[in-house]
Amino acid sequence: MGALHQGHLDLVEKSKSQMEITVVSIFVNPTQFNNPEDFKKYPITLEKDLEKLESYGVDYVFNPTVETMYPSKPGLTLNFGELETVLEGRFRPGHFNGVGTVVAKLFHIIKPQTAYFGQKDLQQVAVIKRLVRDLSFDLDLEVVPTRREEDGLAMSSRNLRLNSEERKQALVLVEALKTAQSQLESGESWQKVKAQIESKFFRMDSGNLEYFELVDPDTFELKEHFDPNQKSSICVAAYIGEVRLIDNLPIIL
Binding residues for (R)-pantoate are 32, 124
Catalytic residue numbers, as ranges: 8
Residue ranges of the annotated binding site are 1-8, 32, 118-121, 124, 155-158
Residue 35 to residue 23: CA distance in whole angstroms = 29
Q: At a CB cut-off of 8 Å and minimum separation 6, what does 136 contact?
A: none
CA distance 58 to 99: 23
Q: Which residues sit in the known binding site for beta-alanine?
A: 32
Q: Is beta strand 208-215 parallel, antiparallel or unpaired with respect to 140-144?
A: unpaired
238-to-27, 68, 99, 211 alpha-carbon distances in Å: 25, 34, 20, 7
Binding residues for ATP: 1-8, 118-121, 155-158
